[in-house]
Structure 1
Amino acid sequence: MRHGYEGRAVIDGVSLSVAGQGVTCLLGPSGCGKTTLLRIVSGLETPWSGTVELDGRAVEGKGLHLPPERRNVGFVFQDFAL
């Protein structure tokens, strides 16, 4: 997968596979692309290139974009407000 902002790639060559149920945590320094990756997986952003599969089903790719509300993806940020 490849994606970025203003012509600058912040995600380049990422491949991620998460097996089974449970909790998955993305850790890294500020600006490394954690939130961008979550936004792409959830459908809030479209990658420049690459594909996204959830439960073996393609939801993002060339000519394909499953809307966020149909992806069954949720995430909670460290600091959230009701």
Structure 2
Amino acid sequence: MQYSVDGGAHWTNAATMPAESATVQVRLAGEPAAGCDYHVSLGSYEAQGPTWATSGRQAFLGWATAAGGAAIHAARRR
């Protein structure tokens, strides 16, 4: 899986996002296995400081999950 926070101009599979983003696009980076669904979860956190490592308190705010198989792959090819 890869994601983009700039409308699809750049894609990454980094574990964390460098900054807040109102929109996240997700795509499957390879060929999907037949009959498989792929689940994507995005967690939201807040932190006191400018970086996760240097912030004092971190708090989990919530998450969203989506699933897809061929539909995710088709979106990737557009």
Name the TM-score, length of structure 1 as normaliser: 0.28
More helix by share: 1
Higher relative contact order (CA 8 A, sep 6+): 2
Larger radius of gyration: 2
Determine which structure has the larger strand proportion and give its number: 2
TM-score by length of 2: 0.29
